[in-house]
């Protein structure tokens, strides 16, 4: 339960204008998960909150319980992530991270590790200049978002028979949830190719902390293939989530 007045760290992941000067913010917090909150009068020039509630900002908020939405009463910026709002490539990457987080989470379900991962990811995107390095960070974010949401892709043991994988394994099954051994892949037609470099790259991402990964510069083809398999896994998970929500609504309706 939240007190009438409470403080929390937050990442601002979505905003929409309402009324004359207000905004509804979607925020992601370590202990309350995802919340929608109101920032009153924030679009007025005179608002003391303006500039402290920009997209992708890592902030410490004070909130007051409201009838429908809680209301932001104070915001103190922890990390501004300024360059995420300055150049187009970073803006699109920031949006991608925010959208993925939004899609992979439901309201008021806490996941402090996912909050930390997202902070570290935005911080890395904010400072890394080379595009390929930022792409590696995005792959890291995709993989670890899957892991922290309970959908760890099988990269060390076959997703089907659980036998230890050898370097010859070269098929990835988003439906089964990871790499398949050669025996299992021959009977599963719905797979994607994964070559040895991509396979090793993903294993490395799975084991290493983000700051280690930030210094990697793999071949673009490897990052590209990693993107394809991770994207397939994310779609698989999101489709399932979406179906379960649709089903819930159907039952409720
Ligand atoms: Zn197998």
Give the rounded percent of residues in the chain with a pLDDT score beyond 70. 94
- Say what the pLDDT of residue 240 is: 73
> Distance, CA 187 to ligand 1 centroid (Å)?
10
- Asked whether the CA dihedral 97, 99, 104, 109 is positive or negative, the reply is positive
Q: pLDDT tens for residues 50-95?
A: 889 999 999 999 999 999 999 999 999 999 999 999 988 899 999 9
> Distance, CA 69 to ligand 1 centroid (Å)?
49
Whether residues 159 and 43 fall in one domain: no
Whether residues 62 and 123 fall in one domain: no
> Distance, CA 33 to ligand 1 centroid (Å)?
36
CATH (domain of 187)? 1.20.1440.120
- Give the range of the structural domain holding residue 247, as residue numbers without chain letter: 83-252
Task: Using the predicted structure, report yes or no on whether residue 245 has a pLDDT greater than 80.
Answer: no
CA distance 226 to 216: 14
Please spell the DSSP secondary structure of 204-244, one letter per residue: HHHHS-HHHHTT----HHHHHHHHHHHHHHHHHHHHHHHHH
Task: Using the predicted structure, report yes or no on whether residue 32 has a pLDDT greater than 80.
Answer: yes
- Last residue within a domain, chosen from 80, 108, 138: 80
pTM of the model: 0.93
Whether residues 206 and 183 fall in one domain: yes
> Distance, CA 188 to ligand 1 centroid (Å)?
10
> Distance, CA 155 to ligand 1 centroid (Å)?
12
CB burial string 109-142: b at 16+ within 10 A, e below: eebeebbebbbbbbbbbbebeeeebbbbbbbbbb
- Say what the pLDDT of residue 122 is: 98
CA 207 to chain CA mean position, Å: 18
- Last residue within a domain, chosen from 47, 80, 113: 80
| Overall domain count for the chain | 2
CATH (domain of 56)? 2.40.50.140
Token pair belonging to 189? 């037609």
Task: Using the predicted structure, report yes or no on whether residue 248 has a pLDDT greater than 90.
Answer: no
- Last residue within a domain, chosen from 80, 98, 121: 80
> Distance, CA 150 to ligand 1 centroid (Å)?
21
Q: pLDDT tens for residues 174-188?
A: 999 999 999 999 999
> Distance, CA 207 to ligand 1 centroid (Å)?
22
Task: Using the predicted structure, report yes or no on whether residue 114 has a pLDDT greater than 80.
Answer: yes
Q: What are the residues facing 25 on neighbouring strands? A: 15, 37
Give the rounded percent of residues in the chain with a pLDDT score beyond 90. 87
> Distance, CA 9 to ligand 1 centroid (Å)?
43
Whether residues 94 and 76 fall in one domain: no
Q: pLDDT tens for residues 119-130?
A: 999 999 999 999
Whether residues 28 and 140 fall in one domain: no
Q: How confident is the model at residue 145 (pLDDT cuts 50, 70, 90)?
A: very high
> Distance, CA 181 to ligand 1 centroid (Å)?
4
CA distance 72 to 69: 10
Q: pLDDT tens for residues 218-227?
A: 999 999 999 9
Task: Using the predicted structure, report yes or no on whether residue 217 has a pLDDT greater than 80.
Answer: yes
Residues with CB under 5 A from ligand 1 (ion): 158, 160-161, 181, 184
């Amino acid at each position: 339960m939240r007190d009438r007045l409470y403080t929390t760290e937050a990442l601002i992941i979505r905003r929409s204008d309402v009324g004359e000067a207000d905004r509804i913010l979607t925020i992601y917090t370590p202990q309350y998960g995802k919340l929608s909150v109101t920032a009153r009068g924030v679009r007025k020039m005179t608002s003391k909150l303006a500039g402290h509630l920009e997209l992708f900002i890592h902030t410490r908020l004070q909130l007051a319980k409201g009838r429908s939405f809680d209301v932001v009463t104070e915001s103190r910026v922890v990390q501004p992530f300024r360059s995420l709002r300055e150049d187009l490539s970073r803006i699109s990457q920031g949006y991608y991270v925010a959208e993925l987080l939004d899609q992979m989470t439901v309201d008021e379900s806490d996941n402090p590790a996912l909050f930390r991962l997202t902070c570290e990811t935005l911080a890395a995107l904010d400072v890394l200049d080379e595009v390929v390095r930022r792409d590696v960070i995005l792959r890291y974010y995709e993989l670890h978002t899957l892991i922290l949401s309970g959908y760890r892709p099988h990269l060390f043991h076959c997703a089907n028979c659980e036998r230890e994988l050898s370097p010859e394994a070269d098929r990835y099954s988003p439906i089964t949830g990871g790499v398949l051994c050669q025996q299992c892949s021959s009977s599963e037609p719905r797979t994607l190719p994964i070559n040895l470099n991509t396979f090793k790259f993903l294993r490395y991402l799975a084991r290493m902390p983000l700051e280690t990964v930030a210094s990697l510069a793999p071949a673009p083809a490897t990052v590209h293939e990693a993107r394809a398999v991770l994207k397939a896994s994310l779609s698989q998970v999101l489709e399932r989530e979406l179906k379960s929500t649709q089903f819930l609504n159907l039952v409720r309706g």
